[in-house]
Amino acid sequence: MVTTINANIQQDMKKINKIFSLLIGFATLMMACDSIVDEKHLENSATVETVELLATQSTTGGNEIEFNMLTPGVTGYWDYLIGKELASRFTVTFPVAGTFDFKYVGTLGAEFFEKSTSVTIDTLDHEVPAEWSALLGEDAVAGKTWVFDGGPHPDRRRWWYMSPPNDPMAWANALWNAAGDCCPPVDASGKMHFDLDGATNFTYYSGPNASPVKGSFVLDLANQTLQINGANILGAEEPRGNPDGLYQIISLTENKLVLYLAFNADETGWTWVFRPELNGTGRR
């Protein structure tokens, strides 16, 4: 019996010694690794003041602009309001007139920075899609306000209604004229404002005296979509609207904005018809 206990103790001691040896070896290896680490600290390659941004119009007051970040060692991207670009040098045909601050967001090496350059566009001498001025109005910085093209009470007109799902061509077919017949959205007397005052700003008001809800928008004319971020359009109440804020543009003219959602939470399509606000009143 004693012999067996002693043998077990010896085996346990061998195991402990092996573990202890492994720990010592691991600690030695870590110390060896630490001794050869060459710590390097990030350093700035320039100062914000010395970062040189250049925005050159191809014609005096024109809307074709070449952007150029001239300072070596600085990396980042251009934010030119309607889009972003990683290239240091590129050319954009800006779609609206006005004075705008175009921003470069980057790193100096050890710190991030933002710096802007101002450009005044007096004339659209390079062709641009008409939808931009239609959405934003003559003064894109001041922007333009849109309201429902009807209501706010049931009026037999079609401005917020159920449409066939997954069929943009059938947007005008009202399977149920919700707002016109009986049941307008809760924000039928509200409004929404689009502008380019420093950013692509979208502001939602649920009613004439409501507090503003700030967001942003992306007008994607290549795919004919309007993306709203941080807020939503009028009449987006569940289950009618899209919680992700993405809508298909059926029509965008100076006097009318028609949006369509192919498939909502109620498994139907839905159509919105808006018009510009009249004389600041919001209603007809």
Domain co-membership, 185 together with 159: yes
CA distance 52 to 43: 19
Question: Could you tell me the residue range of the domain that residue 68 belongs to?
Answer: 53-121
Q: pLDDT tens, 263-272?
A: 999 999 999 9
Give domain status of residue 138, yes or no: yes
Q: Is the pLDDT of residue 52 over 80?
A: yes
Give domain status of residue 183, yes or no: yes
Domain co-membership, 208 together with 92: no
Domain co-membership, 185 together with 237: yes
Domain co-membership, 185 together with 111: no
Give domain status of residue 25, yes or no: no
Q: pLDDT tens, 214-250?
A: 999 999 999 999 999 999 999 999 999 999 999 999 9
Tell me which of 100, 121, 142 is where a domain ends.
121
Domain co-membership, 141 together with 243: yes
Half-sphere exposure of 103 (CA within 13 A, CB side): 12
Q: What is the pLDDT of residue 123?
A: 96
Q: How far is CA 112 from CA 50, 64, 77, 208, in A?
A: 14, 29, 12, 41
Q: Using alpha carbons, select from 194, 188, 184 the residue that is nearest to residue 257.
A: 194
Domain co-membership, 111 together with 165: no
Q: pLDDT tens, 3-50?
A: 333 444 344 444 444 434 543 444 444 454 444 444 557 788 789 999
Tokens (6 digits) for 249: 């543009």
Give domain status of residue 260, yes or no: yes
Q: Which helix (H) or strand (E) holds 115?
A: strand 112-121
Domain co-membership, 233 together with 186: yes
Are 110 and 44 contacting, i.e. CB atoms less than 8 angstroms apart? yes
Q: Which helix (H) or strand (E) holds 6?
A: helix 2-36
Domain co-membership, 82 together with 136: no
Q: pLDDT tens, 158-196?
A: 999 999 999 999 999 999 999 999 999 999 999 999 999
- In this structure, of 42-46, 60-64, 67-71, 88-92, the range with the lowest mean pLDDT score is 42-46
Tokens (6 digits) for 174: 């009202």
Buried b (16+ CB within 10 A) or exposed e, 237-256: eeebbbeebbbbbbebeeee
Tell me which of 121, 148, 163 is where a domain ends.
121
Q: Whole-model pTM above 0.85?
A: no
Domain co-membership, 112 together with 205: no
CATH number at residue 85: 2.60.40
Cβ partners under 8 Å of residue 62, min gap 6: 121, 122, 123, 124, 125, 126
CA distance 99 to 96: 10
CATH number at residue 248: 2.40.128.280
Could you tell me which residue, 275 or 12, shows the higher pLDDT? 275
- When pLDDT is cut at 50, 70 and 90, the band that residue 69 belongs to is very high
Tell me which of 70, 96, 121 is where a domain ends.
121
Tokens (6 digits) for 201: 């700003």
Omega cis (within 30) before 239 = yes
Give domain status of residue 243, yes or no: yes
Give domain status of residue 282, yes or no: no
The tally of domains found in the chain comes to 2
Give domain status of residue 43, yes or no: no
Domain co-membership, 80 together with 136: no
Domain co-membership, 157 together with 199: yes
Domain co-membership, 246 together with 139: yes
